[in-house]
């Protein structure tokens, strides 16, 4: 049977900085039985060793779990990020297709945002691609288109 008071005393002395041999000699000089000292030391060191290893094992498990969680979160973020990028690329390709399909009908709307010389250059580009002012639905914009077309034809830019 282990003497709990003796174990407590040895533990406190170890925490105070005394080594096991000094504590053993002290206890032998105080007439403790060598067998009781050995049993107390064995109990203390084996339980402290188990406790220390248990704490170490818990720390390793916790750190491992944190690392696994971080890796999992990183992978999920990476997957989601790549899926979003793929969706954007798919959207852009669909948008390019729809723009190219509707370009003939709506291309003049791009020119409507410009003023004077820039607007003329924009229509000039459209005229180079066989654009007709009849496609322009806005009355004011259609008037500008016809004027720009006249200048385009008269200046010989269509040659």
pLDDT in tens, 86-124: 666 565 555 544 444 444 455 556 677 777 777 777 777
In angstroms, the Cα distances linking 60 to 28, 50, 67, 154 are 40, 15, 10, 84
> What DSSP designation does 17 have?
T
Name residues of the chain where pLDDT drops below 70. 47-53, 84-110, 157-159
pLDDT of residue 49: 52
Question: Does the predicted TM-score (pTM) go above 0.75?
Answer: no
Report the first-to-last Cα separation within the chain, whole angstroms: 114
pLDDT of residue 51: 66
8 A C-beta contact, residue 148 and residue 123: yes
pLDDT of residue 133: 79
pLDDT of residue 27: 92
CA separation for the pair 114, 4 (Å, rounded): 93
Q: Locate the domains of the chain by residue range.
A: 1-60, 96-159
CA separation for the pair 121, 148 (Å, rounded): 9
């Amino acid at each position: 049977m282990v003497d709990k008071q003796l174990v407590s005393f040895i533990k406190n002395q170890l925490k105070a900085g005394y080594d096991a041999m000094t504590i053993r000699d002290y206890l032998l000089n105080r007439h403790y039985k060598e067998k009781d000292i050995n049993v107390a030391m064995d109990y203390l060191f084996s339980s402290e060793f188990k406790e220390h290893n248990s704490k170490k094992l818990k720390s390793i498990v916790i750190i491992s779990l944190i690392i696994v969680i971080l890796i999992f979160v990183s992978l999920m973020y990476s997957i989601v990020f790549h899926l979003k990028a793929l969706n954007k690329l798919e959207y852009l390709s669909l948008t390019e297709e729809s723009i190219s399909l509707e370009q003939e009908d709506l291309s003049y709307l791009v020119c409507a945002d410009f003023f004077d010389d820039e607007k003329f250059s924009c229509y000039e580009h459209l005229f180079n691609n066989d654009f007709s002012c009849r496609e322009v639905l806005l009355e004011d914009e259609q008037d500008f288109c016809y004027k720009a077309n006249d200048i385009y034809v008269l200046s010989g830019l269509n040659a």
